[in-house]
Amino acid sequence: MKRLLAIVFPALIGLAVQAQPDLLVEALRSYQAGDLVKARVLVDEAVQTPAHSQDAEAWLLRGFIHKDLFKGMPGGAKADAVREEALNSLMNSLNLDEAGTYKDNAVQAYDFLARSFFNDAAKALGEQQEDRAVQLFNGYAKATLRRQPGVSLKAREIEFHNALGTAYTKRFNQQRQDTTWFLKATEAYGHVLALEPDNYGANYNLATLHYNRGVYNIRAIKAEDDIPAIQRIQEVSRVHFQRALPFMLKAHELDPQRRETLLGLEGIYYSLQDQSSSERFRRLFELLPPQNDQ
């Protein structure tokens, strides 16, 4: 830390030996001593003064102080606000630093904070906080594009929306009567396919989602249901089987040796009463070499 500070804040260390240290120097001293709360108060006041309002180094120090404060927080709205202050300060430093004196340090800290949005979004999905995950991912995209306008976020967007679709699918499997989760899952996977039509995971998961919904509808038929009601349920299920088919065929095309797609196609064709096609994919499955136990 001492070595880093010596590199990042050389001018401030020079100021520290003056007889009349200013707010920024006091902020640096508090930061070096580990008193982030006091350092924050001092640096916030310092950047409001004429001496430091356009000082790249002052904004860099403010960014580092807020970044370290954010790292010590458990998350939530307060942590989000501190992270935003850190990002704004580091961006100010980059914009004011015409000579690029502090660029490497500012970029490293800024990118760390931008990535933290993505990591927090993944954590939120694991905790079934899908709305917050979407909010955090949007924060990641905004922060990244702010420093690197025009950079491609396609890979990250595909990764996130595939995970989001999986999270929504889990919700739907827990509450089959609530089709809201089903629609959200199909939308998430559809977003992936709009970006990358040959994405295996999105094709297979979307096929499975439709197929399982059709199967669930049929299994939900009650003994007391009349024939017209049963026919309507079967017709709706058939629509889902038909919707599942092209996605499962695409997944099979992308990876013909995948066991799950062969079994999926066997099941879909069987449900569509296409016995010959169902048996063909069963035979293809049986021709595969035995799986390694590992």
Cα gap 260→163, rounded to integer Å: 19
pLDDT at 142: 98
pLDDT at residue 222, as a whole number? 79
pLDDT score at 227: 81
Place of tokens 């039509």: 197
Q: CA-based Rg of the chain, rounded to a whole angstrom?
A: 28
Give the residues of the chain that fall short of pLDDT 50. Answer: 1-4, 15-20, 293-294
Distance CA 32, CA 128 (A): 39
pLDDT of residue 106: 97
Please give the structure tokens belonging to residue 237.
Answer: 């299920």
CA-nearest of 193, 203, 191, 195 to 164 is 191
Same CATH fold assignment for domains 1-149 and 152-294: yes
Domain extents in the chain: 1-149, 152-294
pLDDT at 224: 79
Q: Which long-range contacts (CB under 8 A, 24 or more apart) does 253-261 make?
A: 254/198, 254/200, 254/203, 255/200, 257/288, 258/204, 259/285, 259/288, 259/291, 260/204, 261/204
Q: State residue 152's pLDDT score.
A: 97
- To the question of domain 152-294 being in CATH 1.25.40.10, the answer is yes
Q: Are 185 and 193 in contact (CB under 8 A)?
A: no
252 with 285: CB under 8 angstroms? Answer: no
What's the number of CA atoms in the CB half-sphere (13 Å) around residue 179? Answer: 6
| Res 108: pLDDT | 97
Predicted pLDDT at 42:
97
Q: What is the CATH number of domain 1-149?
A: 1.25.40
Helix%, strand%, coil% for the chain, nearest 5: 75, 0, 25
The span from the CA of 289 to the CA of 131, in Å, is 43
Cβ distance 237 to 281 under 8 Å?
no
Query: What's the pLDDT at 1?
Result: 41
Distance between CA atoms of residues 91 and 59, nearest Å: 8
pLDDT of residue 19: 39
* pLDDT value for 20: 47
Angle at Cα 223 formed by Cα 217 and Cα 224, nearest 5°? 105
